[in-house]
Chain A
Amino acid sequence: MQGITRRGALLGTLAAPAIIERANAQSAFDWRRFRGERIEVSVQTSPRGTLLQQHNREFEELTGIRAGVEVVPEQQHRQKIIIEYASGRPSFDVGEVSLHVNKRQVGRARWNTDIRALIADRTLTAPDFDFDDFGAGMRSYATQADGRMDTLPAFADYFILYYNKELLAAKNVEVPTTWDAMFEGAKRIEDRSRQVYGHVGRGVKNANVVLWSSFLLGTGQRDMINAERQLITDTDEAIWATVQYQRFLRDASPPGSIGFNWNECQTTFMQGRAAMWVDGIGFAAPLENAQRSRVAGKVGYAVVPRGPANHHCALFGAGYGIPEASAKKGPAWFYLQWALGKQMQTRMLSAGAGVPARVSALRDEAAISGSPFPREFFATLLASAPIARAGLPEILPVTEFRDTIGTALTNTIGGADPAAEMRAATAAFRPILERSERES
């Protein structure tokens, strides 16, 4: 039997690092490195929050980390996390951040840790994490102006057109591709004696701005602030968008729409009282629930109609971040990797809970085939991705913006002049924005 030769030993020594590296890459990642730790997670009430709660045990068994998942209604959650961040000692180790509302505020105050360092740390990041799998648009959406990435993108929310196939077919109305066609179709379907309306949409202030921005995105202007970060909501295009908003809400929607948020719209649509509804993509699940919805199986999905100059759908989204003040960044990062991993993102897609930030989930044919939602829903989702554009300006006082512009929009439903309302609202909000821009 031949013993170990000097040459063999030398070759073995030289090859050792490569062999070890290869072995490490292929060996199972130590998910249980932080076993016994406990973290707190704070997310918004949504089908996505429900998914996290439903599968929480899976994370705990995988890592040995206990995770308490707190689910708070959207608006209250946004307020709660900001107050907790500002206190310097947030109660959570992982928090959901609405990128269309709080991105700039969280970024400016540097409340969240920069996760790029965590991604780069091979001892903390599983080999199959695959950061490049997150769509480029979503990665950009979750990145701050200074290059810091303080949230990992979780999901996108596109505004789409829901329509009641039966109501459209009854009046031979085609699925609209322009706003004018949609309005005409809505008026043809309308039967006030039966309390059936051609359209339903958000009328309540603040929430209504995202419907208005769906009209604005179709204009040549598209955005609410210009390159110099000045407010441009009193231009001809912005007023045109307001006129569209007014005619849809005032002339083609149920009486009382002035107080409708998405939940009233959803109820009206689910009861078969409205033929068309433009809103976020996450409503497929309740609409297709045969126990709760009278229109289950009759819902059609389409991209929003095109505007006179452009074709965009409003984009919103959220990311999950780790507070800088958290003492458990390691376990929290493990949670992010699991919660926004390929499997959970695929589950999100299958459940109709939103548009996953990962591209692989969107291409998962098995998940799409096994989903209870029609293929048309997924086709709409995929068709919306390339035309998606931010539905709200990326500014600090975005809630104040929504409040001011939203009140003007609400006033137009009551009959106020769109041009006068938008000019007044713009004049009221302009100094607030200017001050905020000076400070940041």
Chain B
Amino acid sequence: MSSASAIEAAAATIERRRRNYARHYIWFVVPAAIAVLGTILFPWAFTFYISAFDWRLGSTREFVGFANYTKLFTDERFGWALLRTLYYTTLSVIFPLILGLAAALIFNHKFPLRGLARTIFILPMMATPVAVALVWTMMFHPQLGVLNWLLQQVGIPPSMWVYHADSVIPTLVLVEVWHWTPLVMLLLLGGLAALPIDPYEAAKIDGATPLQVFRYITLPLLAPYLVVALIIRTIDALKAFDTIYVITQGGPGSASETINIYLYLQAFAFYNMGYASAVVVVFFALILTLAALLMWTREKVRP
């Protein structure tokens, strides 16, 4: 037997063993596959299926094809909810990113009681969103809330916070920023700790200012971590429901009615299950598109 044929035979044996291995052990994968199909794929398929029906709980189902989707295009309330979601998401991503980056830069330096300060800083992240929302609701009360009392102590007129259509979304964003800036800080702090020190030494020798170091070294090197934080924050902010529901339930009027609140109302207050399912499908497609775009950006900024 030539050495070439010996190698081929060995390769064939390895391949045969691999196939046998797969054949023998594939059954071990089946339970997990069923679980994944049952808990992830089936609900999605079922939601899509239901979206093709006009169905109110307690009534009969009527097949309407894509009518629920075409109705979305003329539904003004859906359009406003979509715009509000984008507004809320934009603010809820930008501010935690800026503040989280600033906090990470501060906590990356050594100073007395740094550990304690870091622990205190990340405390909001530990709290349950519903509990956080209830506490903030009390603080926002225009007459009895502590926030207006504090404002008045320093001579600032009281605010209406979540009790006015103009200020409700910025106020909800304030809660979101307070709650989730620590997460961004932790992600970026990890990134800062992993940065190489050589570029900084070179910059020091070249006489770069701290601002130049940040602009031309830290920021580009930290970009992949920033994109990760951006993806996580964007998806989280798009999904936001609990805080908004507990504090405003989409009000005043519909001034803070985001897509999640809208679809919740459609499904569980108006019991329009078919229409609500169409909203879910469209919203899911939107999140997927956005996530894909962000992933693509991440690949682009990877060093």
Do A and B come from the same complex? yes
Number of interface residues of B (CB under 8 A): 25
Question: Which one of B141, B143, B254, B268 has the greatest number of beta carbons of chain A within 10 Å?
Answer: B143
| List of 9 A-B pairs having minimum Cβ-Cβ separation, nearest first | A256-B163, A256-B142, A259-B163, A109-B58, A410-B253, A258-B252, A86-B57, A79-B268, A400-B270
Cross-chain contact A410 with B251 (CB below 8 angstroms): yes
Is A403 a contact of B141 with CB atoms below 8 Å?
no
Q: Are A255 and B252 in contact, CB atoms less than 8 angstroms apart?
A: no
Q: Which stretch in A41-49, A149-157, A264-272 binds the other chain?
A: A264-272
Q: Tell me which residues across on chain B come within 8 A of A273, comparing CB atoms.
A: 143-144
Q: Identify the closest chain B residue to A257 (Cβ).
A: B163
Which residues of the partner chain A approach B163 to less than 8 Å between Cβ atoms?
A: 255-260
Q: Kindly state the separation between the CA atoms of A256 and B158 in the bound complex, as whole angstroms.
A: 11
* Known A-B contacts A83-B57, A256-B143, A256-B160; A403 and B265 likewise in contact (beta carbons under 8 Å): yes
Q: From the candidates B143, B164, B254, name the one contacting A254 in the complex (CB within 8 A).
A: B143
B97 touches A (CB below 8 Å):
no
Chain A residues with CB under 8 Å of B102's CB are none
Question: With an 8 A cutoff between CB atoms, is A82 at the interface?
Answer: yes
Closest residue of B by beta carbon distance from A200: B143
A281 shortest CB reach to chain B, Å: 24
Across the two chains, which residue of chain B brings its CB closest to A268?
B143
Contact flag A259-B162 (CB < 8 Å), given A204-B251, A410-B251, A414-B253: yes
- Chain B residues with Cβ below 8 Å from A85 are 58
Chain A residues within 8 Å of B251, by CB: 204-205, 258-259, 410
**B59 to chain A: which residues have CB within 8 Å?**
439
Query: Which chain A positions have C-beta within 8 A of B158?
Result: 255
- Which residues of B are at the interface with A, using a C-beta cutoff of 8 A? 57-59, 141-144, 158, 160-165, 248-249, 251-254, 265, 268-271
Q: Contacts of B265 on A, CB cut-off 8 Å?
A: 403
Which residues of chain A from 386 to 430 have a CB within 8 Å of any chain B CB?
397, 399-400, 403, 407, 410-411, 413-414
Partner of A205, one of B58, B143, B252: B252
> Helix, strand, loop or mixed for chain A's interface?
helix
Residues of B within 8 A of A264 (CB): 141
Provide the bound-state CA to CA distance between A194 and B270, in Å: 42
Which residues 19-52 of A sit at the B interface, judged by CB distance below 8 A?
none
Chain A residues 255-299 with CB under 8 Å of chain B are 255-260, 264, 267-268, 271, 273
Other A-B pairs beyond A82-B271, A86-B58, A204-B252, 10, CB < 8 Å: A83-B57, A111-B58, A254-B143, A255-B142, A255-B143, A258-B163, A259-B248, A268-B144, A410-B251, A439-B59
Contact between B142 and A254, CB atoms less than 8 A apart: yes
| Residues in A neighbouring B142, C-beta threshold 8 A | 254-256
Cβ-defined contact, B58 with A105, below 8 A = yes
State the Cβ distance, B168 to closest chain A Cβ, in Å. 8
In the complex where A204-B251, A414-B165 touch, is A403 in contact with B270 (Cβ < 8 A)?
yes
Given contacts A268-B144, A271-B144, contact A83 B268 (CB under 8 A): yes
Inter-chain contacts of A226 with B (CB < 8 A): none
Smallest CB gap from A439: residue in B: B59
Chain A-chain B contacts (Cβ-Cβ < 8 Å), number: 80
**Does A108 make an interface contact (CB < 8 A)?**
yes
A positions within 8 Å CB-CB of B: 79, 82-83, 85-86, 105, 108-109, 111, 195, 203-206, 254-260, 264, 267-268, 271, 273, 397, 399-400, 403, 407, 410-411, 413-414, 439
Residues of chain B contacted by A411 (CB below 8 angstroms): 253
B161 neighbours in A (Cβ, 8 Å)? 256
A–B pairs, 30, beta carbons within 8 Å: A79-B268, A82-B58, A83-B57, A85-B58, A105-B58, A108-B58, A111-B58, A205-B252, A205-B253, A205-B254, A206-B249, A254-B142, A254-B143, A255-B163, A256-B141, A256-B160, A258-B252, A258-B253, A259-B162, A259-B252, A268-B143, A271-B143, A397-B270, A399-B269, A403-B269, A407-B254, A410-B252, A410-B253, A411-B253, A414-B165
User: In the complex, what's the smallest C-beta–C-beta distance from A301 to chain B, in angstroms?
Assistant: 24
Shortest distance from the beta carbon of A402 to any chain B beta carbon, whole Å: 9
Chain B neighbourhood of A109, CB < 8 A: 58
Contact B268 A258 (CB under 8 A): no
Q: Closest A-chain residue to B269, C-beta based? A: A399
Partner of B57 from A82, A195, A407 at Cβ < 8 Å:
A82
| CB nearest neighbor in A for B142 | A256
Residue of A nearest to B253 (CB): A410
Across the interface, which residues of A come within 8 angstroms of B271, CB to CB? 82
- CB-nearest residue of chain B to A409: B253
Q: Establish whether residues A267 and B164, one from each chain, have CB atoms under 8 Å apart when the complex forms.
A: no
A436, closest chain B residue (CB): B56
- Return chain A residues, CB-CB under 8 Å to B58: 82, 85-86, 105, 108-109, 111
CA gap between A399 and B58 in the complex, in Å: 15
Q: Considering the chains assembled together, what is the distance between the CA atoms of A350 and B58 in angstroms?
A: 38
- Closest CB of chain A to B45's CB: distance in Å? 19
Contacts of B144 in A (CB 8 A): 267-268, 271, 273
When the two chains form the complex, which single residue of B141, B269, B270 contacts A267, counting CB atoms closer than 8 Å? B141
A204–B245 Cα distance when bound, in Å, is 13
Interface hub of A82, A109, A195, A407 (most chain B Cβ within 10 A): A407
CB neighbours of A108 from chain B (8 A): 58
* Residues in A whose Cβ lies below 8 Å from that of B254: 205, 407
Distance between Cα atoms of A82 and B271 in the complex (Å): 9
Give the CA-CA distance A325 to B24 in the complex, in Å.
Answer: 46
Name which of B57, B163, B249, B253 has the most chain A CB atoms within 10 A of its CB. B253
